[in-house]
Amino acid sequence: TVTAVYEQVELEETIGDVTWRYVVDDGVATIVGADNATDPEDGVTGEVAIPAMLGGHRVVAVADYAFAWLWADAVTLPEGIEFIGNYAFFNCTGLQSLVIPASVIEIGDSAFAACWALKAVCYAGDVPDVGESIYGWADEEGTTLDDILTTYVREGTSGWGEVPGEW
């Protein structure tokens, strides 16, 4: 019996001040990380817009831990992203707001855990499948992100039950 084993090659593309790291499978891209193009030791800061295309491939996923410890305060996910991996934005301590596009159908376990500055998450589509505790766990005082976070959903979407606001 012959077993074929292959390793995905990590690719890079620099757009503006960010070098995006990604892999391609079946013609679509999964982002596995990002670095400051000028000085990788500085990390990626400020407002970050995840590209919809990399290397001519449609970006459909953010990998597990892809942006863990990212220093950005705002992240824009493009329409077309379908999957957000486990711990994808873990401990992004400056992240204050996030818009989840309607194309997202699955969010992994603890995807936004320990993002203590996160105040608002806006969902543009119907309820995605979500992993366990996507906002993580309680801090030392017993406060969870669910306690301090405001969730907004786009008017006309389904599956949400009661939420604080629509837009």
pLDDT in tens, 40-76: 677 787 788 999 999 999 999 999 999 998 888 888 8
- In this prediction, residues 15-35 reach a mean pLDDT of 93
Q: How far is CA 101 from CA 6, 10, 126, 142, in A?
A: 32, 25, 10, 30
User: What DSSP letter does each residue of 96-116 carry, written as one string?
Assistant: -EEEE-TT--EE-TTTTTT-T
- Comparing 22-26, 60-64, 102-106, 144-148, the range with the smallest average pLDDT is 144-148
Q: Structure pTM?
A: 0.88
| 5 pLDDT higher than 70 | no
